[in-house]
């Protein structure tokens, strides 16, 4: 599972956007941290014992 802690997001942002102004980069980190934090608890629904068929298939049937 991806580590979406804020520290790791900051490190990733620094690696991808080394030239970006720090306040701009901090804003990006803030936005994605919020989205990642919102996603994290939802992932519990993906445990294979709960839904063995939760494969990657976003398209309507």
Q: How far is the CB of 30 from other proteins (least distance, A)?
A: 10
Q: Which of 24, 3, 2 is nearest to 13 (CA)?
A: 24
Count of residues near other proteins by CB under 8 A: 33
Q: Does 18 bind other proteins (CB under 8 A)?
A: no
Q: At what angle do helices 22-39 and 6-16 cross, to 10 degrees?
A: 130
Judged by the rule CB under 8 A, the positions of this chain that interact with other proteins are: 1-2, 4, 9, 12-13, 16-17, 20, 24, 27-29, 31-32, 34-36, 38-39, 42-43, 45-46, 51, 54-61
């Amino acid at each position: 599972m991806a580590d979406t802690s804020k520290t790791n997001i900051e490190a990733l942002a620094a690696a991808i956007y080394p030239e970006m102004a720090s306040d701009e980069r901090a804003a990006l980190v803030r936005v994605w941290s919020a989205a990642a934090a919102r996603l994290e608890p939802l992932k519990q629904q993906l445990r294979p014992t709960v839904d063995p068929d939760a494969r990657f298939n976003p398209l309507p049937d």
